Chains A and B, each alone.
Chain A
Amino acid sequence: MRAYAAQRAALAVLQLAVLSVLVFVLTSLLPGDAADMRFTETLTPEQVASLRAQLGLDQPAIERFGHWVGNVLSGDLGTSLISGGPVLDIVKASVGATLVLTIATLAVVVPVAVALGILMGTRENGRLDRTITSITLALSAIPDFVIAVVLVAVFSLKLGWLPATWVGGDLLASPVLLVLPVGVLLGRTVCLLSRQVRAGTINALHADYVVQARRLGVPRRRLLLRHVLPNAAVPGVQELARTGDTLLGGVLVVEAIFAIPGFATALVDGVETRDLPVVQGLTLVLAVAALVINLGADLVCNRLVPRSELLR
Chain B
Amino acid sequence: MKKPEAGQLAPSEPLVRVRGLAATAGPSILVDQVSFEVWAGQVTALVGASGSGKTTSALALLGEHGDRVVLRGSVEVDGEVVVDDDGPTEADVRGRVVAYMPQHPGSALNPARRIGAGLRELEKLHHPGRDVVPEALRAAQLPGDRKTLRRFPHQFSGGQRQRIALAQALTCRPRVLVLDEPSTGLDSITRLQLVGELRELAGEGLGILLLSHDLDLVRALAHHVVVLDAGQVVASGGSEVLPAGPELRVVHGSGRSAQPLLQATKLSARVRGQEPILREVDLSVLPGACLGVVGRSGSGKTTLARCLAGLHERYAGEITFDGKVLPVLRKRTAEQNRRVQYVWQEVRGSFDERRPVVDQVARTAERLRGFRPLEARDEAVAVLARLGVSAMVAARPPSRLSGGELQRAALARALLAEPDVLICDEITTALDEHGTGLVVELLQELKQQGTALVWISHDLGLVAAVADDLLVIDAGRIAEQGHPATVMSQPSSEVTRRLVRAARVGQDPPPPVPTTSSDTRSNLL
A binding-site residues for B, Cβ under 8 Å: 207-219, 222, 226-227, 230-231, 304-307
Contacts and interface: CB of A to CB of B under 8 A. Distances in A.
B165 interface: yes
Contact of A307 (B64, B92, B111, B168): B111
B498 interface: no
Query: What 5 A-B pairs have minimum CB-CB distances, sorted nearest first?
Result: A217-B95, A212-B108, A216-B95, A217-B94, A307-B154
Given A215-B62, A217-B172, A305 B95 contact: no
A116 to B, nearest CB: 22
29 contacts: A208-B104, A208-B108, A209-B108, A209-B109, A209-B111, A210-B110, A212-B100, A213-B118, A214-B94, A215-B62, A215-B94, A215-B99, A215-B102, A216-B100, A216-B172, A217-B96, A217-B122, A219-B125, A222-B121, A226-B121, A227-B110, A227-B113, A231-B110, A304-B112, A306-B112, A306-B152, A306-B154, A307-B152, A307-B153
Contact of A216 (B94, B111, B113, B154): B94
A212 B152 contact: no
B107 interface: yes
Contacts of A231: 110-112
Interface in B67-105: 92, 94-96, 99-100, 102, 104-105
Given A212-B105, A215-B99, 12 more contacts: A211-B102, A212-B100, A212-B108, A212-B168, A216-B168, A217-B125, A218-B125, A227-B110, A304-B112, A305-B111, A307-B152, A307-B153
Contacts of A214: 94
Contacts, number: 73
Contacts of B112: 227, 230-231, 304-306
Nearest to B152: A306
Nearest to A217: B95
B125 A215 contact: no
B369 interface: no
A118 to B, nearest CB: 16
Interface string B375-413: 000000000000000000000000000000000000000
A212 B125 contact: no
A213 B168 CA distance: 9
A310 B172 CA distance: 34
Contacts of B95: 215-218
Nearest to A308: B111
A216 B122 contact: yes
A207 B126 CA distance: 23
A269 B458 CA distance: 71
A311 to B, nearest CB: 14
A231 B64 CA distance: 24
Interface in B409-445: none
Contacts of B64: 215
